[in-house]
Amino acid sequence: DPRAATPIGLGCRICERRDCAQRARPPAGGRLAIDPDRRTYVPYPVEGAGLR
C-alpha cells in the first residue's frame, strides 16, 4: 500500500520534514525547541514545527 510509506528527505541535516520521528540529527537552520518538561516523539524538536 503506497499510502503506508514514510517519505524520506535528502538527508537529516537538510531535510525539511520538521516532524520526522526518524531524524538522526537536527536540521540546519532550525532552532531546537528544548523543554525538559515536555516529551515528544521527535528526537530533535524544532521551534515552529507544530509539535505533538
Q: pLDDT tens for residues 4-27?
A: 887 777 787 787 777 777 777 777
Predicted confidence band at 50 (pLDDT cuts at 50, 70, 90)?
Answer: low
**Which three three-digit cell numbers place residue 32?**
531546537
- Give the span between the Cα atoms of 2 and 49, in whole angstroms: 25
Look up residue 46 and give its three cell numbers: 524544532
pLDDT of residue 16: 77
Task: Say whether pLDDT at 49 is over 70.
Answer: no
Q: Looking at the 3D structure of the chain, how many domains does it have?
A: 1
Domain that holds residue 24: 1-52
